[in-house]
Chain A
Amino acid sequence: MKIDFKHNQSAHCENGVVSNLLKHNGHDISEPMVFGIGSGLYFVFLPFLKVNYAPVISFRPMPGFIFKRFSKRVNIKIKRYKFRDKKKALLTLETELKNKNPVGLQVGVYNLTYFPDEYRFHFNAHNLVVYGKKEGTYLISDPVMENVTTLTEKELEKVRFAKGAFAPKGHMYYPIHYPEKLDLEKAIKKGIKSTCRDMLAPVPIVGVKGIRRVAKLIRKWPVKLGTKKANHYLGQIVRMQEEIGTGGGGFRFIYGAFLEEASVILNNPKLKELSKEITQIGDLWRDFALDASRLYKNRSSQVDGYNKVADKMAIIADKEENFFKKLKKAI
């Protein structure tokens, strides 16, 4: 039982699964398009929430949000299931596969045996596609992998019923209804507007203001927390910014690719210019990561070094504020 499914590697799992499922159904929508329309670019700082013993800093909205917004904005209906009963979860999956319907699954990363050990954390908002079953193992298209892979029934059950934050509870989904014509123009505008609104939000921990706040705090970390903790926190920022799935530079490069594509569809040359600008901002984020890594590599404790990376981040905040103001006007 194998469905003819074309696997395309993507940077981010959520956009990748959506893009691959749409392509399977004859709608050629790229990963950056899904990301941009779903308003994937974001920044939030949650000092009161700790993951891996460091405050949460995220460059993306809550898992599932991009997909939800995207399908709403282009008018695609999605069928979703969640299960309490593991057997029922498997049976429903099998039925869909028999109907030649590849399905998206939300899974936990920890038990994904095809990932390198170092990357296996208890992160429950990963996404992949099951496109068949062969000799008792399930055929998997994981968008962050170069090639397709497989999971046994036991492994699949484990990842589908991983526990902890964002527990997938067997979450399975697939598109069931498309409009006659996908109205991308309207959706792109909506997506861009909503991103500008988020990034310029008058909330101290969100968007540009959030970046500025983190920059301010970085200066205090080495004195307030000690070098070890300060370095751990910095490392955590770099990991969130550059982790697999971001496409580099805290998603800024994917967004650049989106704006480039959008400028053609909307016939708006300004967006092409802005695509170049966000690419440069992405490069600044890379610079920030490089400098931060020098600090935690040498486990050095010069307060000066922290001020320097904080300066870089503050400059990024200013540039992004300017950028999103221009972007808002451009559409």
Chain B
Amino acid sequence: MKKKDVPQDNSKLSTKDMKELCYAVDEKGKYTTTLSTGWEPKSIALSNAIDDIDERIQRAKERVLNNITSPIEYYMELHRMDLPILASYMGMWKWRVKRHFKPSVFKKLSTNVLKKYTAIFDISIAQLQNIEDN
């Protein structure tokens, strides 16, 4: 890549005024570094991935409202986690966390367990019990 060809496309990096460092070759054929504001192919891949996550969050929300799953699954998706990550934060086996996705099990969870979840998601117990309570 030549230095003058280093792309300066719009990307989400600009929201925090960030630029990334790239390695490129200058006019004399020597390597140098230069900053880039972003590159479209990459931005599209990222925004597609974000769209997928948003879709998952939306689906989880509907499932909570229809009482198919518990709010824990919704908050898990909201925080871009998956089951292994959440289980690791909880210090529990995956199957136990997965069990907490059942609305009937979720209702009977002790305050201690609920508090552990609220600490991870950084929300109140009321917010955990009712996902529309913000």
Residues in A lying within 8 Å of B, measured CB to CB: 9-11, 32, 52-53, 110, 114-122, 144-146, 163-165, 167, 231-232, 235-236, 238-239, 242-244, 247-249, 253-254, 256-257, 260-261, 275-276, 279, 282-283, 286, 289-290, 292-293, 296-297
Query: In the complex, which residues 56-93 of chain B have their Cβ closer than 8 Å to any Cβ of chain A?
Result: 79-81, 84-85, 88-89
Q: Mark B89-121, 1 if CB is under 8 A from A, else 0.
A: 100000000000000000000000000000000
Q: Please, which residues of chain A bring their CB within 8 A of the CB of B80?
A: 110, 120-122
Q: In whole angstroms, how far apart are the Cα atoms of A120 and B81 in the complex?
A: 11
- A27 → B minimal CB distance (Å): 19
Partner of A297, one of B6, B22, B31, B44: B44
In the complex, residue of chain B having the shortest beta-carbon distance to the beta carbon of A119: B12
B13 cross-chain contacts in A, Cβ below 8 A: 116, 119
Q: A260 contacts B31, CB within 8 Å?
A: yes
Q: Which residues of B contact A286 (CB under 8 A)?
A: 1
The residue that A279 contacts in the complex, of B16, B25, B40, B48, with Cβ under 8 A, is: B25
- In whole angstroms, how far apart are the Cα atoms of A253 and B117 in the complex? 44
Given contacts A248-B23, A253-B24, A282-B1, contact A239 B31 (CB under 8 A): no
Query: How many angstroms between the C-alpha atoms of A110 and B86 in the bound complex?
Result: 13
Which secondary structure characterizes the binding site on chain A?
helix
| 6 tightest A-B CB contacts, nearest first | A293-B41, A235-B45, A257-B31, A253-B23, A164-B85, A163-B88
| A244 to B49 CA separation, bound complex (whole angstroms) | 16
How many residues from B make CB contacts under 8 Å with A? 38
Q: Which residues of A contact B44 (CB under 8 A)?
A: 235, 293, 296-297
Distance to closest chain A CB from B32 (angstroms): 8
Q: Are B16 and A292 in contact (CB under 8 A)?
A: no
Shortest C-beta distance, B21 to chain A (Å), equals: 5
The verdict on B123 contacting chain A, using a C-beta distance below 8 Å, is: no
Count A-B contacts at CB 8 Å.
120
A253 and B21 contact, Cβ closer than 8 Å, known pairs A122-B80, A242-B42, A296-B44: no
Question: For the complex, is B19 an interface residue (Cβ under 8 Å from A)?
Answer: yes
> Does B126 make an interface contact (CB < 8 A)?
no
Query: Considering the complex, which residues of chain B in the window 1-42 have a beta carbon less than 8 Å from any beta carbon of chain A?
Result: 1, 6, 12-13, 15-16, 18-25, 29-31, 33, 35, 39-42
Q: Please tell me if the beta carbons of B45 and A249 are within 8 angstroms of each other in the complex.
A: no
Residue of B nearest to A35 (CB): B23
Say how far A25's CB is from chain B's closest CB, in angstroms: 22
Instruction: Pick from B12, B23, B29, B88: contact of A276, CB below 8 A.
Output: B29
Contacts of A276 in B (CB 8 A): 29
User: Are A248 and B1 interface neighbours, CB within 8 A?
Assistant: yes
The 13 listed contacts between A and B (C-beta, < 8 Å) are: A11-B20, A11-B22, A115-B18, A118-B50, A119-B46, A120-B80, A144-B20, A146-B18, A238-B41, A239-B46, A243-B42, A249-B1, A296-B48
Q: Which residues of A contact B84 (CB under 8 A)?
A: 164-165
Residues in B whose Cβ lies below 8 Å from that of A116? 12-13, 15-16, 18
Q: How far is the CA of A242 from the CA of B42 in the complex (A)?
A: 7
Write out the residue numbers on chain A whose beta carbons fall within 8 Å of the beta carbon of B21: 9-11, 144, 247
Instruction: Indicate if the CB atoms of A293 and B45 lie closer than 8 Å.
Output: yes
Instruction: Determine whether the beta carbon of A257 is less than 8 Å from that of B12.
Output: no
User: Do residues A145 and B23 form an inter-chain contact, with CB atoms below 8 A?
Assistant: no
Q: Are A163 and B85 in contact (CB under 8 A)?
A: yes
Query: B residues within 8 A CB of A275?
Result: 31
**A292 proximity list for chain B (CB < 8 A):** 41
A122 B85 Cβ-Cβ under 8 A: yes
Q: Quick one: which of A119, A120, A283, A292 has the most chain B CB within 10 A?
A: A119
Beyond A239-B46, A248-B6, A293-B45, 5 additional contacts (C-beta under 8 Å) are: A53-B52, A116-B12, A119-B46, A163-B89, A261-B31
In the bound complex, what is the Cα–Cα distance between A11 and B42 (angstroms)? 16
Closest partner residue, chain A, to B42 (CB atom): A242
* Chain A residue nearest to B35 in the complex (CB): A146
Closest to B24 in A: A253
Q: Please indicate the chain A residues that have their CB under 8 angstroms from the CB of B52 in the complex.
A: 53, 232
Chain B residues contacting A253 (CB-CB under 8 Å) are 1, 22-24, 31
A146 touching B30 in the complex, CB below 8 Å, given contacts A286-B1, A297-B44: no
